[in-house]
Structure formats: structure tokens, C-alpha cells
Amino acid sequence: MPVDRPYYLERLFSAKDEPFIKVITGVRRCGKSTLLDMLEERLLNTGVPQDNIVRLNFDSRETRRSATDADSLYDLVAGRMGPGRNYVLLDEIQNIKDWEDALIFMFTDFDADLYVTGSNAMMRPPDVGSKLVGRYLDIHVLPLSFEEYLDFVPNGGELIDSFEEYVTNGGFPAVALTKPELKAAALDGIFNTILELDVSLKNEVRDKALMRDLAEYLIENIGCSASFDNINDHIGRGGRTVSPNTVSNYVLMLEKAFLLYRVGRMDVKGKKRLKTLGKYYVVDTGIREMLIGSWTDDRGKVMENLVHHELRKRGYNVSVGKVGEYEVDFIAAKHRERIYIQVAYSASDPNVLERELRPLRGIKDSHPKLLLTMDRAGPDNYDGIRNRNLMKWLLSEETSG
């Protein structure tokens, strides 16, 4: 029996019978199919008859042979529906040609609540918006958070030991349950499958070696400002010359496969988005560990990666903040709420502490300001800037500390 992922399950179930198609997206192997299993079980437990639940997985050869395009998918679902209200759960629907048309037909013609999953950002706005605009809710799923990992892989030892395991092995559910000696091979398989199927094959990439080199470079340099110049400097060491347009297109492909997440910059004072350098974070720290080696060589950036994902999971829009000549690691915004966050592995050194606090002190508005570190001791705040242990913050419900 899989461990519940209540945050996502509750979001799905709270949208039950709302007049929207529920589009569940995320990198492959992050748990989308299991989430549909949990939703199906919840529906059954609340009295929905089995005959009124249509569940299809389009990674299945049998199902793919039964539905190859919008019309055959429509007919397949129609033939399996029971009388009255139905709940249609379609897994990896992006494998079907013209799947958007099929969803529109079903949404219009059937008395049905539609839930679909996909492993490519073609399932998300703005791509999906061209046909499903105004008709869908986007529910994005990440690999296991630290809190979910502790439920998934209980450990009676020290919390720090579980944290080290989590950062090293990442949050893919299947990897978490794999034998220790096989985890690296499992991560390598997931990474290569994403690159081959969700990036290269999907986009007909010609230079697969360049794509892999670019992916590994950005994964190694998570949390660092990325520009064509520094990417091209790296690529140029191998004697290659690549156009800015090619680099831009390849990076976008990696984002659309959910392997990388880009965080843009915002001027805190002017509250304007900046077109200059963004930062990238990898979908799972285990992939970085498998590719690069010991995460302890760059602890601060790995900590940033965890905070970025936790903020996204909690529903925040995330930006990098520019405060004059300084930088705030994250601006987290949701509705009218805003939080400024600095992340460091340790701020026990007074010089490091001053460096981390300086950008936050430069922000004059009244929104909460938060410093996250792995330090286990220290004051609760520095002149109003809250100071929290990262592990405890990841396990708390209060984002602002």
C-alpha cells in the first residue's frame, strides 16, 4: 500500500466535481500514477461505484492499441462509462495524438469529472491553454518532499541521518524503496529516460551529446546565474560553437520535461520582473548526486534547491530578488502574501551571517524575512529577521517561520 501524499490528494479531491479538467503534471516517476490510484480509492470509499470510474493508462501497450487518436480515445472512454456521473482518470494522455481535442469532446458531451496526467510541460500553460483555456486546473507534482520522504521511508534514527539520505538519494518514490546498492543505477535510468524520451525523442533533438552536456552543466551549477556567455564558455572548451538560439531552445526542452526549473529575477524595490539572468534548479537532488558526486561540496546551493521545491509545493510563485547590488535567494509570493528568504548551509561565522542578512536588511517593506540554515543553535531573530533550522522548516506548515 503506497504512502499517502495528502497535500496533492487533498488538492485533487477538493476539486472533485468542479467544472474543470484536472491536469496533473510532473516529471516521470514522481508519483502521478500512484496519485491517481489514491484518488480512485478515495472515490470508491466515498460511495462512487466502480462502474462509474474509468481508469486508463496510456503507457500500457493494450490501451495504446485501443486508442490512437482523439476519436478512438473518445469512443473507448464512452464505451466504459456507467450510468449517471462518471469519473474519468487518464494516465499519460500526452501519448495520444490530438489528446486535447478528445478532452474537449468529453468535457462537452459527457456527465464526467476528468483527471489526466502527463510527463511533459505541453500539458501546462501556455501550451495547453491554446485549446483548453479556461477549462482546466493545473496540479503540478514534484518528487517526495522531506516530510513525505520520512513517511515513505521511516527511520528511527537521528533526523539528520534521514536528511542526509534524502538529499543524497532524492525523492523519487521508486528510488526511495530501492536497495541502497541499486539507487545510483535507478537514478541513472530515470535521468537517461527523461533525456531520451521526454527531451530528445519528443523534440527530435539532433545533437544528443550537446543536450546531455548542457543538462549536466546546469544541474552541476544549480542556484547560479545562467547566461548564454557562461554556458557557451563551458561548451566551447570542447571546441564547439553553438548559437544562442540553440542553447535557448535546448534549455527550454529541459524545462518542459520538468528536469529543470527556471527562477527569474525581480527588482524588489520596483517590483518588476527583470529579463536578465535567471537561475535553474534540478527536479531531484538525487540526480545531481548521481551525476556530480558528493553534495557536501556545494551544500548551500543544494539547500537552495530543497527550499525552491518546498516553496513550489506549498503553492508559492518563486523569484530571485535584486536589492540594489545584492541578491535575495527567494521571493515567495502567493495571493497577497510575500516572504523574503535567504538560504545558507551555516551562518555560525559572523562574516557569513552578515553577508546573508545584508540583502534582507536592505528591504524596507513589512513582509516577513527569513534566514534558513542547518545551524542547530542561534537566536530566533536578528532585528526582526527570523532565523530557522532548515530541516525543521521543511517539516513545518508555516512558511514564514
Residue 127: the pLDDT is 57
SS3 string, 319-337, reads EEEEECCEEEEEEEEECCE
Q: Where in the chain is the domain with CATH 3.40.50.300?
A: 6-140
3-state helix, strand, coil in the chain (%, to 5): 45, 20, 30
Low-confidence ranges of the chain (pLDDT < 50): 125
C-alpha cell at 343: 538560504
Tell me whether residue 160 is exposed, middle or buried, using C-beta atoms within 10 angstroms of its C-beta: 0 to 12, 13 to 18, 19 or more: exposed
Of 153, 154, 144, 167, the C-alpha closest to 374 is 167
Classify residue 145 by its DSSP letter: P
Residue 155: the pLDDT is 73
Whether domain 6-140 has CATH 2.60.40.10: the reply is no
CB 378, CB 390: distance < 8 Å: no
| CA of residue 317 relative to chain centroid, distance | 12
Residue 22: the pLDDT is 95
